[in-house]
Structure 1
Amino acid sequence: MVTVVLEGRGDLTEWREAARSLLLAHTTPQTVDWRCRNESAGDLFEPAVEALEGPIAGAGAAPTFAVPKVFLSLAQAVICHRDPARFQLLYRVLFRLQAERTLLEVLSDADVAQLHAMEKSVRRDCHKMTAFVRFKEIDTERGHARRRFLAWFEPDHHIVARTAPFFQRRFTDMDWIIATPKGTAAWDGGALTVSAEPAENPMLTDATDALWRTYFSNIFNPARLKVKMMMTEMPKKYWKNLPEAALIPGLIAGAEASVVAMAERAASEAPLFHQRLQAAAQAEPEIARPPAGTLEELREEARHCTRCALHCSATQTVFGEGPQDASIMIVGEQPGDQEDLAGRPFVGPAGAVFNAVSQEAGLERQSTYVTNAVKHFKYEPRGKRRIHQKPNIGEVQHCKWWLTRELALIKPKLVVAMGSTALMALTDSRQRLADLRGQMLQLGGGQSLLVTVHPAYLLRIQDEARRHEEMARFRSDMARAADFGRKTPVDISREQRTVRSG
């Protein structure tokens, strides 16, 4: 049996050096007795054991093994745990890793589970230290320009050295000492020093104690009180060193009465500033409404659209744009992220493709009316991004009310449906877009309909050869639309008769 005596105050280096020596000597975990120095005196009747101080003789200096980085990360936390069994656990896992390289991936393993449980306990203790340390100002020494503060904290584990850098970064502009039963950390503006020697509670009080109590009593909300949750986040063992904790029993006991009093004090009338805002709004000159029966009137009306729930999350209504007498009307699916922000259709990546291809095909956007089947951006938030979502049938039907009025005002000779959503909005058809692609169909009122893909579809094609092929087909569709726009009513009528007779 080999006994290893360590200081056991959160220093990974001393354990690592001993563990390396033991491992190089192929010492099994069952033959090692790990102890802390303050526990190593033992019992008078305990058999004598061999104490390891430094490397084992004959073990060699160069290590011949490796461990995963995740083990070292876990070990740095677990070594701070107060349980004396942590040394044996770490060495047992280290020994097993030499034969079981993926051991740490087996979270159901008893040793691995215990390792993670200890790491979590240390991490939680560090968090509580950063939350519950209360600095108190002490007298500044003569000739010392910086203010000096002292705090007392009682951690569960040996975390002083692990947590001290947080306080150095946060309170670098003042001198401070954090004293605990498991060591002390100090910062003087130039150097951070940490000692493992236990300290005694200085029992200090100062004027900030009253400030803490005032702050806590004002942020305490009796209407949202959950005692069990509060006790989880602010365990009772920390209360004796928190000046505000003395208020907690009274605040809990009076919570119900406080809620009743809050309800009685609730405002029965709108605040004065609300009345002033209403008066200012009524005093503003009324803005002239756009002429009746124009696109401007329809656009202003659509700006306040609440026909479906999409308006709740969208930035604004994205209405169509273009001349009211346009002979060609382009109908897309819905605005995207950039269109939603700009308030204009086809200004994003898909719009850039549409503009470039249309120009090559001889279709001028300035003389074309461009709009969407759905006027609000539908998306799913993912972090800081807004991911496009396809409108459902109900949302398309709600927005068809606007599209029908646009068609009635503009009276285009040709309507180009770009994408399946636009096709469904214009025809109520559920046919596959691929079956109608490139075809010239008939709408009511003598208008023709050309079906093609949406430019966004072209951007999603990964295969380069197929993307070139689909881009050429889209260019051909736009060229056909441009040619149709140049035809006379007689030519169009003749072509429609030919389509019907065929």
Structure 2
Amino acid sequence: MLSVRLEKFNDFGEWRNKARQLLAAGMNPSQVVWRVGAEDSGLFEAGDDMLPQPDGPIGSVPSQFIDLARDVIQHADPERFAILYRMLWRLQSEPHILQNAADSVHQMLAKMASAVHRDTHKMRAFVRFRSIIVEGEERYIAWFEPDHYILEANAPFFTRRFSGMHWAIITPYASAFWDKDNLRFGPGGSKKDIPAEGAVEDDWRIYYGAIFNPARLKVSMMKSEMPVKYWRNLPEAERIAPLIRNARQMEQDMIARATTQPPARHLRQKAREVEAPEKTEQFQTLHDVSEAVDACRRCPLYEHATQAVFGEGPPQAQVMFVGEQPGDQEDLQGRPFIGPAGQVFDDAIKNAGIDRSRLYVTNAVKHFKFVPRGKRRIHQKPNTGEIQACRFWLDLEREFVKPKIVVALGATAAQALVGKAVSISSTRGRAIDLEDGAVLIVTNHPSYLLRIPDPETKAREREKFDADLMLIKSMMQTLEK
């Protein structure tokens, strides 16, 4: 029996390297036992030191298995490595086995992946940071007890969500540390390492009490979404029992003080109906439109944005790129696509041999929609009403520029251009005729590439994006003939 030793509980790359060595040596799953860390080997188990290191590709597997394995490797079942290798071995002779949902091994892997997904959802929902002061600086620390080894895969989510905070997440098996620039991992800890009370505890209690709706109380469903096992680590959980106990009286009080005034959103809509004097006939040039857009009051986004960000490029450009909305830098400087996503865009079109000075670049929504988080403004996706309200300006841009090719960067832009929600996967790679005679091409927004944490996935998606731009370059060359 061969003992294969892994150093980490959940390192997919480490497991894959060992599995490739086993395949190269022709090792049947029945001949292999997997060990982790300092786990003792059996008396009759040989070490894996003599396994060959393959120089090139070994076998083949569908991408579905890679995605499945990345999830399963995080599961706490000690047999996960063996089960994955058993499936990998079978895939060499049964390449379509993953299409058989009734296969027992496939079912085991699917259940493990599903359990990891549930644990991931709970972690992202129930991590609660506590504020502490370290050397005069405010920092945040959280304790969480996952069922599986999910910390490393989920830490990048928290770096994006709390990028401006100096934080640590402690779990029994490992810890993650973020210093606003770098993410690192260390050994696990215990709950006693976490302060008993933090400055933000009251905020959670107040927030939970504010969103509690006694008229929609369903205790069994609440416990399903917020399992009792997590309550001991949630500051707001202490309010659950009294809120449930008093729900009937709270509901009667709500009925007694029911409002007789229309909701604020109705009043805002009424005001917009009065404040929308823009008529298409009042604009004679694209410059007229660009001067008028900053006074737009068609939706509430203008209230917090620095300024409207209009399109930029030749007034008669043959190609128009449409993004989602201005970002933080665009909102401050009043120009489209100059932030991080704009840099990705510039690099990609340069590689495709496209001159940006020949393009008209704009956004479906002209004002920056965001939520404040500390000193930062975090992008928030515009809703259907905001997209529809801003379509007035996008239609004017298309009317004056008259592009032959319109490129939708992301689903929001595609929705603004075709008038309904569409998926990128169903429209990508094909030309769609628009009513004004232009041709629409749909691809990802450059910011999507920035958000992908996995290097392999990022490289794969960048290749797709580059291929879409090469298609556009080819279409531009056809127009020039």
Output the TM-score relative to the length of structure 1. 0.51
Match of 1:100 among 94, 101, 125: 94
Matching residue within 217, 239, 249 for 1:247: 239
Q: Distance in 2 between matches of 1:233 and 1:34?
A: 35
Give me the whole-angstrom Cα distance separating, in 1, the residues matched to 2:152 and 2:261.
Answer: 55
Alpha-carbon distance in structure 2 between the residues aligned to 1:270 and 1:37 = 65
Match of residue 225 from structure 1: 217
- The CA deviation at 1:137 is 1.5
**CA contact under 8 A between 1:17 and 1:55: conserved in structure 2?**
no
SS of 1:33's partner is strand
Q: Does 1:21 align with 2:21?
A: yes
Alignment of 1:176 onto 2:172 = no
* C-alpha contact (below 8 Å) 2:23/2:58 kept by paired residues: no
How many angstroms does 1:203 deviate by? 3.6
Residue 48 of structure 1: aligned partner: 44
CA deviation after TM superposition for structure 1 residue 76, in Å? 1.2
Look up the match of 1:305: none
2:35 matched to 1:35?
yes
CA distance in 2, matches of 1:221, 1:383: 34
Is the CA contact 2:129–2:142 (under 8 Å) kept in the aligned structure 1? yes
> What residue identity is the alignment partner of 1:230?
M
Q: TM-score, normalised by structure 2?
A: 0.53
- Say if 1:21 and 1:55, in contact at 8 Å, map to a contact too: no
User: Distance in 2 between the 1:127 and 1:5 partners?
Assistant: 30
- Cα distance, 1:127 vs structure 2: 1.9
Deviation at 1:258, TM superposition (A): 1.8
Residue 236 of structure 1: aligned partner: 228
Structure 2 residue aligned with 1:86: 80
- Displacement after TM superposition at 1:5 (Å): 2.5
Contact between 2:20 and 2:58, CA under 8 Å: does it hold in 1?
A: no
Aligned mate of 2:155, from 135, 154, 164:
164
Aligned to 1:126: 120
User: 1:283-316 CA deviation, whole Å, 9 max, x = no partner?
Assistant: xxxxxxxxxxxxxxxxxxxxxxxxxxxxxxxxxx
CA distance in 1, matches of 2:9, 2:153: 11
Deviation string 1:132-166 (CA, Å, 9 cap, x unpaired) is 11111111325xxx631111111111111101111
Closer/same/farther in 2, CA of residues 173 and 272 from structure 1, 3 Å limit: closer
Q: Is the 8 A contact 2:131 2:138 kept in 1?
A: yes
Paired-residue identity, % = 42
* TM superposition shift of 1:386: 5.2
Task: Decide whether aligned partners of structure 1 residues 271 and 72 sit closer, same or farther in structure 2, where only a CA change above 3 A counts.
Answer: closer
- Tell me the alpha carbon deviations over residues 366-399 of structure 1, each in whole angstroms, 9 at most, x when there is no partner: xxxxxxxxxxxxxxxx966558xxxxxxxxxxxx
Q: How many residues align?
A: 282
Per-residue deviation, 1:125 = 1.4
C-alpha distance in 1 between matches for 2:140 and 2:244: 32
2:5 equivalent in structure 1: 5
| Root-mean-square deviation (Å) | 3.5
Aligned-residue offset at 1:59: 6.4
Q: Of the candidates 186, 190, 194, which is equivalent to residue 200 of structure 1?
A: 190
Q: Confirm or deny: 8 A CA contact 1:179 1:200 kept in the other structure.
A: yes
Q: How far off its partner does 1:80 sit?
A: 0.8
CA contact (8 A) 2:175 2:189 kept: yes
How far residue 264 of structure 1 moved from its aligned partner, in angstroms, is 2.6
Q: CA deviation at 1:198?
A: 1.8
Residue identity opposite 1:107 in structure 2: A
Partner residue in 1 for 2:205: 213
How far the C-alpha of 1:62 sits from its partner, in A, is 3.7
Distance (Å, rounded) in 2 between the aligned partners of 1:68 and 1:165: 26
User: Is 1:264 paired with 2:260?
Assistant: no
Contact 1:135 1:150 in 2 (8 A): yes
CA distance in 2, matches of 1:271, 1:101: 61
| Cα pair 1:153 1:241 within 8 Å, conserved | yes
Q: SS at the partner of 1:177?
A: strand
Deviations 1:457-487 (A, max 9, x none): xx9xxxxxxxxxxxxxxxxxxxxxxxxxxxx
Does the CA contact (< 8 Å) of 1:239 and 1:245 recur in 2?
Answer: yes
- Relative distance call for 1:216 and 1:55 in structure 2 (3 A) is farther
Distance 1:386 1:188 in 2: 43
Q: Determine if contact 1:150/1:177 at 8 Å carries over to the other structure.
A: yes
Distance 1:92 1:120 in 2: 19
Query: What CA distance in whole angstroms lies between the structure 2 residues aligned with 1:90 and 1:271?
Result: 58
**Residue 373 of structure 2 aligns with which residue?**
none
CA distance in 2, matches of 1:93, 1:55: 23
Unaligned runs of 5+ in 2: 272-387, 393-398, 400-413, 421-433, 438-481
Q: Distance in 2 between matches of 1:245 and 1:194?
A: 29
Query: Counterpart of 1:11 in structure 2: which amino acid?
Result: D
Alignment of 1:30-429 (within 5 A): 30-38=30-38, 40-41=39-40, 47-52=43-48, 54=49, 56=51, 60-142=54-136, 147-195=138-186, 197-201=187-191, 202-204=193-195, 205-267=197-259, 385=418
SS of alignment partner, residue 158 of structure 1: coil
What is the deviation of 1:72? 1.4
Instruction: Give a deviation string over 1:205-257, Cα, whole Å, max 9, x none.
Output: 12211111011011100101122221222111111111001111221222222
AA of the residue aligned to 1:117: K
**How far apart are the structure 2 equivalents of 1:17 and 1:91?**
12
Separation in 2, partners of 1:135, 1:116 = 32
Superposition deviation, residue 36 in structure 1: 2.5
Distance 1:22 1:69 in 2: 20
- Structure 1: runs of 5 or more not aligned: 281-337, 343-348, 350-381, 388-455, 460-502
Displacement of 1:262 in angstroms is 1.9
How far apart, in 2, do the equivalents of 1:199 and 1:128 lie? 20
Aligned counterparts of 2:217 and 2:100: Cα–Cα separation in 1? 40
Secondary structure at the aligned position of 2:47 is classed as strand
**Which deviates more, 85-94 or 63-72?**
63-72
Summarize the Cα distance change of 1:8–1:84 in structure 2 as closer, same or farther, 3 Å threshold.
Answer: farther
- Classify the secondary structure of the residue corresponding to 1:51: coil
